[in-house]
Amino acid sequence: MGKPTGFIEYLRELPLDRTATERIQDWNEFHLHMSEDKLRQQGARCMDCGIPFCHTGTLLSGMATGCPIHNLIPEWNDLVYRGLWKEALERLHKTNNFPDFTGRVCPAPCEGSCVLGINAPPVTIKNLEYAIIEKGFEEGWVVPDPPKFRTEKKVAVIGSGPAGLCAAAQLNRAGHWVSVFERADRAGGLLMYGIPNMKLDKEQVVIRRLRQMEAEGVKFLTNTAVGGNYPAEKLLKEFDAVVVCTGATKPRDLPIEGRSLKGIHFAMDFLTSNTRSLLERHKNGSFVSAEGKDVMVIGGGDTGTDCVGTSLRHHCRNLVQLEILPCPPQERASDNPWPEWPKVYRLDYGQEEAAAKFGADPRVYLTTAKQFVGDDHGAVNEVLTVQIQWERNEKGQFVPKEVPGTEQRRPVQLVLLAMGFLGPEQPLLDALGVERDSRTNVKAEFEKYHTNLKGVFAAGDCRRGQSLVVWAFNEGRGAARECDRYLMGHTSLP
């Protein structure tokens, strides 16, 4: 805990952000820093709650509550309050390989289950996590720490996203030689190309960690597609164990009339091409631009918000975001009690920016696209939308039904599909010969992670389906533990 009466004495405070109208002019991170005195006050708000629900992650009503990687939150809150920053960093790194990532992009289910949040604003856990790790880098406390000995076992990790990086870091820590295979031109997976720069800086944050891992002995093989230009049979033969962390990258499509028109793109294609162009200083110019266009983002969540923020930085002419679900309430509903994740209305950074530019939240709820309409050149120029209502079918399931007479034609020259993902891409899994479950995910039991193939493990979204970065951290660390146990007969990894 922090100060015993801190939660009474201090109000919840967050660092200021750069104004929305300012930050849409560049690609820099938009959060500003808080003073150390303010941060220590926020640490003091952590109360002696007896059972820290923030600390242990689980699923309630299908959503994360608490921290999936079991961060020792009350301990490092107390250490921040006492000004013991290096000790706080040590406690943070015990459970989290990359708090510089989660401190920026995690939705903080820990805060949703903070006991103080029952009747007051919760502790600012995410911001304190961010402050601890950035203090560590500023002070030079975060340095390469290669293992003291090597087992001479070789492990291949397929995929360099959140789960893959955690698995690689942990297996390297155990002394194994780790090679990370990444089909893209840069390592980092979702962290590199799926999350835009203003939320997670690539050169200052992601590449910083990749270089540290390389200095510790992890080898990254980019432009290397297992099952493609690197045969799966060769991988299985040359490595003592394999951890599959390919993510759930098969996007959900919207196969309505006009889908083949030009100007309709999956969200990840849009975000990836934009980040690659930024990293290459716009030398190739090959990115999907929203400049001067009426943009429609179909779908919500973090990916939809990132499409909104990116389109605004391209200087789009107008923007609308379709949400098929109803608008969440301002406060917790009776069927959404603490410590469940609070399903309440939020104005995320992208919607805040759109409201500042266009005057209102761009989201239109209970609405879906019915038809894409093209011009004489085969490009989308209108979208026919319709309002829907949710009704139960004969099986008792809620399904969307069109509301007659609510069709509306909207001018659109760029459509971004951000409706989530259906699971992992199958060709690599076919090449490896791993068994799949009914949802096409790799079949491997949670906490064991072993597939049907000897020495082959799976973790992250390719195993559990689309989920949070912090759940990928949980699984990557867990798969590393079980892989180490398989290789050595025992393990000291947590």
**For residue range 154-204, what is the model confidence (pLDDT) as tens digits?**
999 999 999 999 999 999 999 999 999 999 999 999 999 999 999 999 999
Same domain, 292 and 413: yes
Domain stop point among 138, 172, 189:
138
pLDDT one-digit tens code per residue, 223-247? 999 999 999 999 999 999 999 999 9
**Greater confidence, 453 or 396?**
453
Question: Which residue is associated with the tokens 């030009």?
Answer: 262
Assess whether pLDDT exceeds 90 at residue 64.
no
318-323 and 421-423 strand pairing: unpaired
Q: Judge if 408 and 259 occupy the same domain.
A: yes
For residue range 324-365, list pLDDT tens digits in order: 999 999 999 999 999 999 999 999 999 999 999 999 999 999
One domain for residues 10 and 21:
yes
Residue 457 reports pLDDT greater than 70: yes
**Do 212 and 272 meet the contact criterion of CB atoms below 8 Å apart?**
no
pLDDT at position 137 over 90: yes
Q: How far apart are CA 37 and CA 379, in angstroms?
A: 55
Q: Of the residues 138, 165, 184, which one is the last residue of a structural domain?
A: 138
Q: How far is CA 160 from CA 191, 288, 317, in A?
A: 9, 24, 36
Domain count for the chain? 3
Does one domain contain both 236 and 270? no
Indicate whether 333 and 455 sit together in one domain: no
Same domain, 57 and 118: yes
| Per-residue confidence (pLDDT) for residue 286, from 0 to 100 | 80
List the structure tokens of 462. 């390719």
pLDDT at 310 over 80: yes
The one-letter amino acid code at 354 reads: A
Burial 27-53 (b: 16+ CB within 10 A, else e): bebbbeebeeebbbbbbbbbbebeebb
Q: Determine the pLDDT at residue 140.
A: 97
- Give pLDDT tens digits for 363-394: 999 999 999 999 999 999 999 999 999 999 99
pLDDT value of position 395: 87
Domain span at residue 444? 154-249+422-488
Asked whether residue 68 falls in the same domain as residue 187, the answer is no
Give the pLDDT band of residue 59 (cuts 50, 70, 90).
confident
Q: What pLDDT sits at residue 335? A: 92
DSSP class of 231: -
Q: Are residues 278 and 362 in the same domain?
A: yes
Flag whether 144 is in a domain.
Answer: no
Residue 147 lies in a domain: no
The CATH number of residue 184's host domain is 3.50.50.60
pLDDT for res 283: 62
Q: Are residues 273 and 405 in the same domain?
A: yes
The answer to whether the CB of 251 falls within 8 A of the CB of 419 is yes
Domain final residue, candidates 396, 419, 442: 419
Q: What is the pLDDT of residue 1?
A: 66
| Whole-number average pLDDT of the chain | 96
